[in-house]
Amino acid sequence: MSASGRNSKPQPKGGRGRPAKNTAKGRGKGQGKGQPNRPRRGDGQRGTTPIRTPDEGRGGGHLGGDQVEGRHAVRELLMAGTRRTREVIFAGDLDPAPILDDIIDLADEQKVTIREISRSKFESMTRTDGAQGVLAMAQPLRPTPIEDLLEPERDGTPPFLLLLDGITDPGNLGAILRTAECAGVTGVVLPRHRAAHITPTVAKTAAGAVEHLRMSVVGGLPAAMKTLSQRGIWTVGLDAGGERSIFDLPVADEPVALVLGAEGPGLSRLVRERCDTIASIPMAGVLDSLNVSNAAAVSVYEITRRRAEASGGN
């Protein structure tokens, strides 16, 4: 049965009214009711910073992200609270699940409209494969000025940036953003042109990371890298032909930016020339390269490990 209105609740298949709640304690991520107690780096420190400009409704500077699909991505959107959610829409044939309870309760708390529609209508609205019966319409993400990314975090942590040169595959971008948020990257820089921004596929693959990462959009990466150099941020390009291994970099706890190129073409010429050093990931097998999102995971966590060691962490 379809329903609409602010307080209309979806009635998943297999039960009347709201899905049965799971009250067991100690549930891991992706299960359970309400907001987990784990701290979020976005609380008071990070998260996408809104820019209050008159052209907000005209798309000036938008990163995208106005349609969010998938259970984890929608729940993280509501939990983060960094932007307004206008509506949450459910397919009408869902089985009960704890994560659906989470979404419904969070939407209720924030007075977000909840709608249930037929599966066929729901599928006609989706723009990803496997939206898991849930999507949300939200205020688009707003980019953070790059100058803000060059400052230390409030706790004194120096910048750890990720610059993405011409990555157009949404699945790769989403996976990279998820890794970046988990590894403690403090900001991501995207070029305005010839690069993917936050599509529904990116948001779903990132599983909520877009709600916590600060992201800047620049006219061109070479000019942005010149600014980084002037501010004392060391830029490390990742390329198969790099002169040193990513595992041998003298990375400590100083400001650093990792630069990744598109799969296939790699780093563009000007971007490569602006890097302070070019590093590679050693290949021990027959194949000579990794998928760019996998290469990002290896490199980001190696830098994270070295920074933690330099600062006395674990």
Q: What is the percent of the chain where pLDDT is above 90?
A: 66
| Amino acid (one-letter) located at 221 | L
**Mean pLDDT, residues 152-165 taken together:** 92
pLDDT at 47 over 70: no
pLDDT in tens, 77-109: 999 999 999 999 999 999 999 999 999 999 999
Q: Give the residue from 257, 117, 92, 88 showing the smallest Cα distance to 187.
A: 257
Q: What is the pTM of this model?
A: 0.80
What is the per-residue pLDDT for 241? 81
pLDDT in tens, 272-314: 999 999 999 999 888 888 899 999 999 999 999 998 888 776 5
Q: Say which CATH class 1-142 falls into.
A: alpha beta
**Mean pLDDT, residues 246-259 taken together:** 88
What is the per-residue pLDDT for 8? 44
pLDDT at 266 over 50: yes
**Mean pLDDT, residues 31-43 taken together:** 35
Mean pLDDT (the chain) is 82
Q: How confident is the model at residue 17 (pLDDT cuts 50, 70, 90)?
A: very low
What is the per-residue pLDDT for 314? 57
What is the per-residue pLDDT for 313? 63
CATH for 146-310, options being 3.30.450.20, 3.40.1280.10, 3.40.50.720, 3.40.50.2300:
3.40.1280.10
What is the per-residue pLDDT for 61? 56
Q: Could you tell me where in the chain the CATH 3.40.1280.10 domains are found?
A: 146-310
**Mean pLDDT, residues 119-135 taken together:** 95
pLDDT at 36 over 60: no
Q: How confident is the model at residue 253 (pLDDT cuts 50, 70, 90)?
A: confident
What is the per-residue pLDDT for 278? 95
Q: Could you tell me where in the chain the CATH 3.30.1330.30 domains are found?
A: 1-142
Q: Which of 49-58, 118-127, 185-194, 277-286 has the lowest mean pLDDT?
A: 49-58
